[in-house]
Amino acid sequence: MSLNDHLSTLKYAFPKTLPILAGFTFLGIAYGVYMHSLGFPPIYAILMSVLIFAGSMEFVAGSLLLGAFNPFSAFLLTLMINARHLFYGISMLDKFKGTGKKKMYLIYGMCDESFVINNTARTPSDINSGWFMFYVTLLNQIYWVSGATVGSLFSSLITFNTDGLEFVMTALFVVIFLDQWMKERNHISSLIGIAASVLCLILFGTENFIIPAMLIILIFLSLIKKFITKNEVISS
């Protein structure tokens, strides 16, 4: 790819990441401020946002560092909180095929937001979809790390009333869900996703509902396999 191709891919990717720019700058700053309030020097928030790059898990990791030294339970807790990534991977197996060396980074940086954009975007034929996904992932990580850096360095200077700005991530997920809803011919998967999650949230509470919800989704979708053909669920 020529430099011009890179620039046009970046130009195409950037607008798709604008909601993430708003959300990650804000949440990243919130994370930096949070780590500062726990008493950690700025390098903690910066390195953890680069290395872990999984928003909710980083907040949890901050509090883990203040608790007892128990690496194994930290590892298990991480698997539980991040188990949803398994579904992202399964959904991206084919899309990441043929992306070359970039594939390692695409998988490494596959947070919720990069996944939803890379999974739903339909790139035009003159845009290389591998590089598009690479830039989406990279931009998102830059937003997050910048936010965390600013937050941990300048936490006392932030005075703008940001109450409610965190809703931008909910808004993104609602819009992605709606977009999918409007183009699918059959709502069965969308409906089971909402129903299983709400049911498990009621039954198991906010801390433990994701894995049982994933299991119900998996079992249900497997049971209805013979009644569903590909073009009923997705249409591009």
Partner 1 sequence: MMSITQQIIMIACVVAGTLLTRFLPFMIFKADKPTPKYIKYLGYVLPPAVFGLLVVYSLKDVQVTSLEGFLPELLAIGLIIGLHYWKRSMLLSIAGGTIFYMVLVQVVF
Of residues 110-139, which lie at the interface with partner 1 (CB under 8 A)? Answer: 110, 112, 116, 119-120
In the set 6, 78, 102, 127, which binds partner 1 (CB under 8 A)? 78
Buried b (16+ CB within 10 A) or exposed e, 31-42: bbbbbbeeebeb
By CB under 8 A, what part of segment 201-230 binds partner 1?
A: 201, 206, 209-210, 213-214, 217-218, 221-222, 225, 228, 230
Tokens of 149: 């850096």
Q: Is 224 helix (H, G, I), strand (E, B) or coil?
A: coil
Nearer to partner 1, 142 or 221 (CB): 221
DSSP code, position 98:
T
| Of the candidates 107, 61, 57, the residue with the CA atom closest to the CA atom of residue 80 | 57
In the set 10, 154, 177, 212, which binds partner 1 (CB under 8 A)? 177
Nearer to partner 1, 5 or 158 (CB): 158
Non-local CB neighbours of 72 within 8 Å, separated by 6+ positions? none
In the set 8, 154, 192, 212, which binds partner 1 (CB under 8 A)? 192
By CB under 8 A, what part of segment 45-64 binds partner 1?
A: 47-48, 51-54, 57, 61, 64
- Computed on alpha carbons and rounded to an integer, the radius of gyration of the chain in Å comes to 19
Q: Which x/- pattern, by CB under 8 A, does the window 79-108 give for partner 1?
A: x--xxxxxxxxxxxxx-xxx----x---xx
What is the Cα–Cα distance from 118 to 25, expressed in whole angstroms? 20
In the set 157, 163, 223, 227, which binds partner 1 (CB under 8 A)? 163
